[in-house]
Structure 1
């Protein structure tokens, strides 16, 4: 409860939330869970990509991130180009006005400091820079909580990301590679900590224990075209990824295995549809997951998971299901290593269906041992995230922390 003479802390959450990416929304859900459990007095709202979804699903007021509604559509006509240009100026004012209304702004998880997927500097990197610069100018603490980072070759994008990180009042990362990447980009990370991804703080459904004949396999697919530096080869990379994944699914079906296709973003749906059409078997179905909770239920019911999207991997690993990663970035390799499955990675850019099938069979052969390993690693992740939230309370709610200390010492 908040006392009569105490003003509630005003907390904003910021990012591409409610925009169709289940991983981003899962990070938001984890932070909201922390705030509602530990700081129910906080008044929370969002500046985000999908305000209608966020307001309906998470029951907090939400404002659209960009003034220009066509921000993420390719602009080829003069009117659209002018609209985007004007939007950049309007967004600077809108962002500052929104930041001014808050005591603290949280950027919850997400790969906000990386460009492992195609990204333009004037898109989200510019929006993040506006947020962090406004926070510094208006003395509102902007905190980057459990975020992902990676080396960035594009100079304008790298500069915006570097300055965003420098202007933030607090930073924590979801893996060591992220912290190293920011240090290499010139950010002082001496006080920055590394914790497990925020999604590991979400409730975990009970996983099934395989018995009898081999059961279902979840295959997480992605609209993968390579990274930000692969634009010239994007179509070729996508064709190779789709062909290799389709051949792998067909091989599973020929072995009589039911296959459940998973996605993690709205843009992945055409990939799942293409595989369904190509394989054309009643053994292959596609899940309609709307949240990480839905994805965890799907992966918990499977014997084994093979997945591409980072948060598909997290969902499978969190429920303790043996998992093979179609890795498209260093963050996937780091996650698999941390969870004890480093040898079960396969490059998404070079999907070799025969080699992937051999790795899959090795994974299944070691299933019982890997489930024990995942149980141990998940227990460690839970303890580390508890430490993370304690550190957040100390940083964001110093008055409440001091009050607790006085009470405990009385």
Structure 2
């Protein structure tokens, strides 16, 4: 039979480790289940995707300044022309494939600042092109959330309706799409694709101690609130950075080494602010460039405090007791799924005193939490394995192969 031509689509290779981790997990499954598949990408960072994953890649947008603010007439005209060119480019790319997959990512949400004519428009073009050319578009393990902005909501809803296949990384995502008028009766819910990535060898837990002294990983984020928080974005950002900095300073005062983690290139500014404010050799910045490296960092720590969703995924997958600085329902749902729902703190209301209290409680209960995480990770692994096999059957019904579990 002719090898299936598979396209992958999204803001991949653009510096967000979570997005790239979802792609890596999907490619790992495809290479095991359908090694004959011919895969290429339409994505934000084609050079990085080709270098890292060895697949051909094309730039998502014709206009290179798509995500820069356009103030001059030439830039505005370039963006406008780019929308028309992208419609043709996307359709031409889609029709060359047997199936196009959007792997993971929060493509149906606006929990971070987002403009409708940016990625929501690109996703709509993709799904519309799939419907017009007869190429199925599969939204696999994606995140969704209620969207207040009418234009963004309309584009996201229409894109979801035009997709041939949808599955979600949590129940709130499916509920959000149902509330937006999408028929989700046949849509699956399963663990985040990143849980399919290889896990590092488990580190032996530190012996019980009245005064833990091991490393604490603190995952930070260039957080300004969501799409509906633009009016007070500056205030939210200042409060978040201040609360996180105070937590790090308190840990350092107790002699605890602190390792700062990120998940996107834009987070570097927050790392620098904390390093400058605390000014201690006990605080260091991780250079992790993949979810695998982030998971290894988390596995080597006594505990983790994290904001970014995929920082949480890495820490929980590593089996390390974790406190979530939660900014969206997806973080809350993940913590509940992994049995740590009690250890959450709102990122918009970051309070160092309360954070430290919750952190101390987390460490007191660390042995039990490690046991819970080990059990939940085993369950998640089975669930995701079963889903990925079902996905193979759904996307390649003529010839599918079941990936056998390894002992």
TM-score by length of 2: 0.97
Q: CA deviation at 1:183?
A: 0.3
CA distance in 1, matches of 2:33, 2:362: 40
Q: Distance in 2 between matches of 1:30 and 1:332?
A: 20
Q: Supply the distance in 2 between the matched residues of 1:395 and 1:361 (Cα, whole angstroms).
A: 46
Aligned 8 A contact 1:15 1:47 in 2? yes
Aligned position for 2:119: 124
Establish whether residue 380 from structure 1 lines up as the match of residue 360 from structure 2.
no
How far did residue 393 of structure 1 move? 1.1
CA shift at 1:214, angstroms? 2.1
Partner deviation per Cα, 1:366-410 (whole Å, 9 max, x = no partner) = 000000000011011111111111111111111113xx69xxxxx
2:8 pairs with 1:13? yes
The question of whether the paired residues in 2 share the 8 Å contact of 1:207 and 1:321 is answered with no
> Residue in 2 aligned with 1:390?
389
Provide the rounded CA distance (Å) in 1 between the counterparts of 2:370 and 2:110: 32
Q: Would you say how many aligned residue pairs link Structure 1 and Structure 2?
A: 398
- The answer on 1:91 being equivalent to 2:86 is yes
Question: How large is the Cα RMSD of the aligned pairs?
Answer: 0.9
State whether residues 222 and 268 of structure 1, in contact with CA within 8 Å, keep that contact through their aligned partners in structure 2: yes
Aligned to 2:405: none
Q: Aligned equivalents of 1:207 and 1:215: distance in 2?
A: 16
CA deviation profile, 1:187-229 (whole Å, cap 9, x unmatched): 0000001000000000000232233552000000000000000
Please report how far the alpha carbon of residue 169 of structure 1 lies from its aligned counterpart in structure 2 after TM superposition: 0.6
- C-alpha offsets along residues 15-57 of structure 1, whole Å, 9 cap, x if unaligned? 0000000000000000000000110000000000000000000
Asked if 1:197 is matched to 2:192, the reply is yes
Report if aligned partners of 1:145, 1:173 keep a CA contact under 8 Å in 2: yes
Q: Deviations over 1:39-96 (max 9, x none)?
A: 0000000000000000000000000000000000000110100000000000000000
Cα distance in 1, alignment partners of residues 222 and 392 from structure 2: 38
CA contact (8 A) 2:206 2:302 kept: no
Q: What 5-or-longer segments of structure 2 have no aligned partner? A: 403-407
The residue that corresponds to 1:258 in the other structure is 257
CA distance in 2, matches of 1:132, 1:200: 26
Deviates more, 1:29-38 or 1:207-216: 207-216
Task: Please say if 1:367 is aligned against 2:366.
Answer: yes
Give the Cα separation in 2 of the matches to 1:394 and 1:204: 26
Partner of 1:165: 160
Q: Does 1:211 pair with 2:206? A: yes
TM-score (norm 1): 0.96
Q: Is residue 330 from structure 1 mapped to residue 325 from structure 2 by the alignment?
A: no
Q: Following the alignment from structure 2 to structure 1, what is the Cα–Cα distance between the partners of residues 151 and 306? A: 32
Determine the C-alpha separation between the residues in 1 that align with 2:354 and 2:203: 27
Distance 2:245 2:45 in 1: 32
Paired residue secondary structure (1:354): helix
Whether the aligned pair in 2 keeps the contact of 1:46 and 1:61 (CA below 8 Å) is: yes
Alignment of 1:91-240 (within 5 A): 91-211=86-206, 213-240=212-239
